[in-house]
Structure 1
Amino acid sequence: MAKAFSVQATIASFGGNLLKLEHNATSTGSTMKLNLFLPAQAEKGKVPVIFYLAGLTCTGDNGAEKGFFQATASKHGIAIVYPDTSPRGLGVQGEDESWDFGTGAGFYLDATKGSYAAGYKMSSYITKELPVALYGQFENLDSSRVSIMGHSMGGHGALTLFLRNPGMYKSVSAFAPISNPKNCPWGQKAFGGYLKSEEEYDEWDATELIKKWGGDFEALIDVGDADNFYNHGQLLPENFIEAAKSKGKADKINLRMQKGYDHSYFFISTFSEDHINYHAKRLL
């Protein structure tokens, strides 16, 4: 069987290796780059996996280089996948005109509108094509023990993909997630550009999806109270919590407002250990 990924670099990291990979993805119609951290334990047997979804303007490098996730993941023997945030170079009109839409801003949904519908299929890529390709080539990844987390737009992605795919992930966590995108400027811009009708917005909004969730729901969510985007109404985690409360799903959601922290990787790296430990308890 032909290998899906070519390895562009292998970098020693916390006793394991960070692999810089690329492959031709059919769901996005583009060459996709990503990072894969394999802990030392992967040399002896199967290890669980966490997908980390990055935010607006980011690539698969940001979390791997600035999140400090590998330090704790290596102790537990957990692999981490750092995908890109959108297809790149498709030549879709308007995809490079602004930083919060198009390139680097795929919003982890499957677009249905206009030219974006052909390649902006980040939900299908993250939940279907990418994991199948990874598990096929890297047999030391345990496809039965998988969790997901993300930051900002990636926090939105983590919550929505978890809620849209019951049973796929063992746990979910988020840093400063865009929690109610249909009611914030970032989300309204993205949904308006990617989705052909407002009726589709609820399908990609965590605050709406939690209302339909069956059974218990559990999550760890960190938000900085000095986050400029939070304070200007882009994140709206309170809306998510209120929707969960209305359906009796809020008891196991740990929303932590972190005093003095902003939206940056200084914030993420400070609490990355907590998030890896949170997932480790559910994966190991």
Structure 2
Amino acid sequence: METKPTEISSGKMFGGYNKRFRHFSPTLGCSMNFHIYFPRSPSPSHKFPVLYFLSGLTCTDENFIFKSGAQRAASAEGVALVAPDTSPRGLNVEGEADSWDLGAGAGFYLNATQEKWKNWRMYDYVVKELPKLLSDNFPHLETSKASIFGHSMGGHGALTIYLKNQDKYKSVSAFAPIANPINCPWGQKAFSNYLGDNKSDWEDYDATCLVTKFPNVSSTILIDQGEDDKFLPDQLLPHKFEQACKKPMFPYCYVSNLVMITFTIL
């Protein structure tokens, strides 16, 4: 199967181009789509830094590209936007389409350990396969200069991926992220299915747990959260993450000025 990306659509926007690509992913065992927004290039040899966006539950690679308008800012700043899909597709795993918070559209950016969901390896896809694919096939992308952000489930993915790979990303931010999934219904459902019943394994994909394991974060983490978000008190739990950042990690070692959470009324 063809692992090299094939362009399947292109549209001009703010002087640059939204381009959609398809390729076969050996990591996931299926064909995957992703979008890249390329700003206008100032010269044939110019390389753009990369900003990855991870979408939330039920989304595909198209939602952010079609709805956000982020291309305006990306064009002005000379940054390429990369938006992958949120899960494997077309594998016909039993139950993958039974609910919107598990299976198709709900990859949770982890590597599943349970046999039924063995293809759900979005962590490796985002962290390893996709950056190499971009580096090998798109000479105008400077993948060594990359940052990551996301929304809801994608905010969870961005935070956890950044905390475990601070050498790969310059910054991280999140909009209404699922910040403490081991303590919310969405996370508990996904983690029990993908990772099994050992809750210590869940902590490897929980930003609130991870931030206590990586106290030497080199940049400020920005979280933007709407106060009227109906999922805030039961599913998102950004205050749990904020509290974890303020706890003493080790004797004489404290995390401070690590996370900035802004609240807006939506």
For the criterion TM > 0.5, the same-fold answer is: yes
Instruction: For 1:43 and 1:59, locate their aligned partners in 2 and report how far apart those are by CA, in whole Å.
Output: 32
| SS, match of residue 231 in structure 2 | helix
2:125 equivalent in structure 1: 125
- The TM-score with structure 2 as length reference comes to 0.94
2:145 equivalent in structure 1: 145
Deviations 1:89-146 (A, max 9, x none): 11111111100000000000000012102x1000000011111011111011002210
User: Are the equivalent residues in 2 in contact too, given 1:3–1:137 (CA < 8 A)?
Assistant: no
Instruction: For 1:140 and 1:54, locate their aligned partners in 2 and report how far apart those are by CA, in whole Å.
Output: 24
Instruction: For 1:235 and 1:145, locate their aligned partners in 2 and report how far apart those are by CA, in whole Å.
Output: 29
2:261 equivalent in structure 1: 255
Change (3 A) 1:171 1:159: same
Change (3 A) 1:241 1:14: same
Query: Post-superposition shift, 1:23?
Result: 0.4
Instruction: For 2:3 and 2:96, locate their aligned partners in 1 and report how far apart those are by CA, in whole Å.
Output: 30
2:103 equivalent in structure 1: 102
Please, which runs of 5 or more residues in structure 2 have no aligned partner?
none
User: Are the equivalent residues in 2 in contact too, given 1:42–1:140 (CA < 8 A)?
Assistant: no
2:229 equivalent in structure 1: 227
Instruction: For 1:57 and 1:256, locate their aligned partners in 2 and report how far apart those are by CA, in whole Å.
Output: 25
| SS, match of residue 105 in structure 1 | coil
1:272 equivalent in structure 2: none
Instruction: For 2:186 and 2:64, locate their aligned partners in 1 and report how far apart those are by CA, in whole Å.
Output: 21
Query: Post-superposition shift, 1:171?
Result: 0.1
Report the count of equivalent residues.
257
Deviations 1:13-45 (A, max 9, x none): 110011011100010001001110011127530
Query: Post-superposition shift, 1:253?
Result: 1.4
Query: Post-superposition shift, 1:3?
Result: 7.2
Q: Among residues 208, 218, 221, which one is paired with 2:220 in the alignment?
A: 218
Deviations 1:188-231 (A, max 9, x none): 00001100222201000000000011423421110000101113
One-letter amino acid matched to 1:220: L
Instruction: For 2:93 and 2:3, locate their aligned partners in 1 and report how far apart those are by CA, in whole Å.
Output: 29
Q: Which has the higher helix share?
A: 1
1:173 equivalent in structure 2: 173
Instruction: For 1:63 and 1:212, locate their aligned partners in 2 and report how far apart those are by CA, in whole Å.
Output: 31
One-letter amino acid matched to 2:56: G
| SS, match of residue 94 in structure 1 | coil
Please, which runs of 5 or more residues in structure 1 have no aligned partner?
262-284
Change (3 A) 1:42 1:107: farther
Identity across the alignment (%): 44
User: Are the equivalent residues in 2 in contact too, given 1:158–1:174 (CA < 8 A)?
Assistant: yes
| SS, match of residue 240 in structure 2 | helix
Instruction: For 1:249 and 1:17, locate their aligned partners in 2 and report how far apart those are by CA, in whole Å.
Output: 41
Q: CA RMSD in A?
A: 1.3
Query: Post-superposition shift, 1:250?
Result: 3.9
**Larger deviation, residues 246-255 vs 184-193:** 246-255
Moved over 3 A (4+): none
One-letter amino acid matched to 1:225: E
| SS, match of residue 96 in structure 1 | coil
1:157 equivalent in structure 2: 157
| SS, match of residue 22 in structure 2 | strand
User: Are the equivalent residues in 2 in contact too, given 1:52–1:83 (CA < 8 A)?
Assistant: yes
Relative contact order (C-alpha < 8 Å, sep 6+): which is higher?
1
